[in-house]
Amino acid sequence: MKYFLMAIFLLAWPVFAETHNIVMTGQSRVLNVQSGDSIDLVGDSNQVIIQGDCLSLNLTGSGNTVRLQGQMTSVQILGSDNQINWVQISNRRAPSLQSMGSNNRLAAIAP
């Protein structure tokens, strides 16, 4: 019975993950996420704070500033002049960055 319940839990785990699809321009927003979530953000000239651990950010646009408050595995950017700031605390690693465009930056910042 114990193994049966564990199997059900492991199979149900992906159900709790969510993909946040966000389209916006010239706005500020705080986004709360959970482990396993992914974010698809499309837009220009936005200020976004992402709170919580997350799998990935896919950003399409230009002139965005994003602050990562939790651990994130990867950031993919298609666009230019985007700034991704990740809060550096002990045991937190920088997300991997894939960038197609110009002048996209990933920087560690203090809490």
Q: For residue range 66-109, what is the model confidence (pLDDT) as tens digits?
A: 999 999 999 999 999 999 999 999 888 999 999 999 999 999 99
pLDDT value at residue 75: 98
Q: Looking at the domain assignment, is residue 2 inside a domain?
A: no
* pLDDT at residue 91, as a whole number: 86
**Residue 98 in contact with residue 82, Cβ under 8 Å?**
no
Q: Which domain holds residue 99?
A: 18-109
The pTM assigned to this predicted structure is 0.84
5 vs 36, residue with greater confidence: 36
Q: Is residue 5 part of a domain?
A: no
pLDDT above 90 covers a percentage of the chain that reads 78
Is the pLDDT reported for residue 2 higher than 70? no
Q: Is residue 98 part of a domain?
A: yes
Q: CB-hemisphere CA count at 13 Å for 98?
A: 7
Q: Is residue 1 part of a domain?
A: no
Q: Number of folded domains in the chain? A: 1
